[in-house]
Amino acid sequence: MIPNKNQFLLIISVCFLFIGVFFPTNLNADLIYFPFEYNQIYKEKYALELELADIRKQHQNELNRLEEEKKDLQSQIRNLTEDLELEKRNRAKEQDDYSDKLRDYDMRLRSLEKKGTDKERTLAEENRKREEKDRAEIEALKRKLEEKERECLQKEQKLRDTYESKIDELKERIRNLEEELASLRKLTKEQKRELERLSEQTKEFEEKLAKEITSGQIRLKRFHNKLIINIDDKISFDSGSSELKPAILPAIEKIRDILASYPENYIVVEGHTDNVPIKTKFRNNWHLSSERALSVLEFILQNKSLNPKNFSSAGYGEHQPIVPNSTRENKALNRRVDIVVIPRATSSLGANHD
């Protein structure tokens, strides 16, 4: 009978375990990794390489698109410049024509003034008015030309600024993505093991809290480097109170027993409220959320096998909602206590779980 793939991996794993047990001093520590661990690391590396290739492809596509925009803008600038030069030549020609007319008017005016008749003086006055009108038209056309030139220059500068802004924005986005990829590559073997252990813990919570999760008392949210256990506010506390209800205590007891099995974790108990101002003995929502987090923390630490040095609590009031406080249902979701489980080796990866 030929073994299938899973049976073959099991046989190889047993062989490595046998060698590690009976020949512990002759093996390097790296040889005790199981094949599925190497497969997982290889898949993560391959996924990162694909993501980097995709990012580079997006970067190149964006650069090509921006280059086309640049060419189009340069073409518009050339067209505007040509229009401006044509307008200048037309205005120069008109100015020459008006100058010829003015000289002709001057000659006619001097001729009429010499004759001294009333009719001639009337014609001279009309010519003078016409000359003033022509000069006014020339000045108006000149101002119009200058204004159009300024508009062209402003439009050109605006287009250039927009193009440079898009380039800078794209470069910043690429830089951020590269930093994120570099951060993922810096994960040590110990941090990867801790993340795998966090997956095991998550599975244990899901199994042992299946009833509470189904009933809505508990919600689990798994992020890259942490697990958040969300305790339903309606079942945990009366409105405006920080005293735990008896109905939620069995669920928290299960949670603290599981936490005791993983002493290498950091635990942060966070209290949150909605944005409705408090009108009880508490000064504000900060005070209420802090007291609720502290109530949960104190109940958890009744298990003496837990090390208090690994625990902390915080109250955030209404300032970290998970959904907008726009409906009654959303406000109920924002009123919560979160138990945040952070593996010790991955705590340097950041504690923000928004």
pLDDT at 29: 44
Q: Residue 353: is its pLDDT beyond 90? A: no
Q: Which two tokens stand for residue 72?
A: 């189009």
- State the pLDDT confidence band at 112, using cuts at 50, 70 and 90: low
| Bridge pairing between strands 227-232 and 218-222 | antiparallel
Write out pLDDT tens, residues 316-347.
999 999 899 999 989 988 999 999 999 876 65
Q: What is the pLDDT of residue 151?
A: 87
- The count of other CB atoms within 10 Å of the CB of residue 135 is 12
Cβ pair 354, 320 in contact under 8 A? yes
DSSP 8-state symbol, 238: -
What is d(CA 99, CA 101) in angstroms, rounded to the nearest whole number?
Answer: 5
User: What is the DSSP code string of 152-176?
Assistant: HHHHHHHHHHHHHHHHHHHHHHHHH
Give the whole-angstrom CA distance, residue 124 versus residue 119. Answer: 8
Give the residue-averaged pLDDT of 195-213: 87
Give just the sign of the alpha carbon dihedral 345, 346, 350, 354: negative
Report the pLDDT value the prediction gives residue 27, as an integer from 0 to 100: 45
Closest CA relative to residue 315, chosen from 331, 338, 299, 343: 338
Q: In this model, does residue 351 exceed pLDDT 70?
A: no
Rounded to whole angstroms, the Cα distance separating 157 from 103 reads 42
Averaged pLDDT, 228-232: 90
Position 346 scores a pLDDT of: 61
- Position 9 pLDDT exceeds 90: no
Residue 28 — pLDDT band, cuts 50, 70, 90?
Answer: very low
* Mean of all residue pLDDT scores within the chain: 81
278 band by pLDDT with thresholds 50, 70 and 90: confident
Write out pLDDT tens, residues 282-300: 899 999 999 999 999 999 9
Q: In the numeric block, which tokens belong to residue 52?
A: 């980097």
Strand runs (DSSP E) across the chain, as ranges? 218-222, 227-232, 265-272, 311-315, 336-343
- Ranges 30-39, 193-202, 234-243, 304-313, most confident: 304-313
CB environment 308-330: b (16+ within 10 A), e (fewer) = eebbebbbbbbebbeeebeeeee
